[in-house]
Amino acid sequence: KFEKAWLTFGIGALLVFLTVLGVSAFYLGNQPPSCLVTIDPAKVDTTKPFNEPGLKKVEGKDWDYELVFVASAFSYNPASVEVPYGAKVKIMATTKDVVHGFQVAGTNINMMLEPGYISEYTTTFDKAGEYLILCNEYCGVGHHMMTSKIEVV
């Protein structure tokens, strides 16, 4: 005779769960964190900070450095960059033409670079060595040659 009560409790709990999930997804706008900011792909070269790709020390922010990458078929600018060991780095990347990938081998950094959007990822490189950056979105005949390198020293 308790079956009915338990069944009611079970369905009630399910409804509460679905409501919470629904509210968090649609009302609070919980979305995967990438491609938050827009940019005109034709003006990448003259838009800050993409007019100066590479590593830059910053003050008064939650991170120590900004590392800017511009992707275009079939390379990244910069093609190689040194990052100080243990520094907190905000990676900011975009593309001038088609969709490219931005995967840092050996880490969990794996972004998609879409024309018109800025992809960001903040991380700390706490292991010295070379990190290969790969394009994992097929972008044309030179796709397989499209790489860059982060050297943590």
Q: Which is nearer to ligand CUA, 58 or 111 (CB)?
A: 111
C-alpha separations of 119 from 2, 36, 39 in Å = 54, 7, 11
111 binds ligand CUA (CB under 6 A): no
Q: Which helix (H) or strand (E) holds 44?
A: none
96 binds ligand CUA (CB under 6 A): no
State how far the Cα of 74 lies from the Cα of 60, in Å rounded to an integer: 35
135 binds ligand CUA (CB under 6 A): yes
State how far the Cα of 13 lies from the Cα of 11, in Å rounded to an integer: 5
37, 138, 151, 153: which one contacts ligand CUA (CB under 6 A)? Answer: 138
State how far the Cα of 82 lies from the Cα of 90, in Å rounded to an integer: 14
- Provide, rounded to whole angstroms, the least separation between the CB of residue 5 and ligand CUA: 58
- Provide, rounded to whole angstroms, the least separation between the CB of residue 70 and ligand CUA: 12
φ/ψ of 30, rounded to 5, equals -70, 115
- Provide, rounded to whole angstroms, the least separation between the CB of residue 31 and ligand CUA: 24
Beta-carbon contacts of residue 51 (< 8 Å; ≥ 6 apart): 45
- Provide, rounded to whole angstroms, the least separation between the CB of residue 110 and ligand CUA: 13
139 binds ligand CUA (CB under 6 A): yes
Which of 106, 96, 122 has its CA nearest to residue 34?
Answer: 122
Residue window 54-83: x/- pattern of binding to ligand CUA, with contact defined by CB under 6 A: --------------------x---------
State how far the Cα of 77 lies from the Cα of 51, in Å rounded to an integer: 11
Q: Which is nearer to ligand CUA, 63 or 103 (CB)?
A: 103
Applying CB under 6 A, which residues contact ligand CUA? Answer: 74, 100-101, 135, 137-139, 143, 146
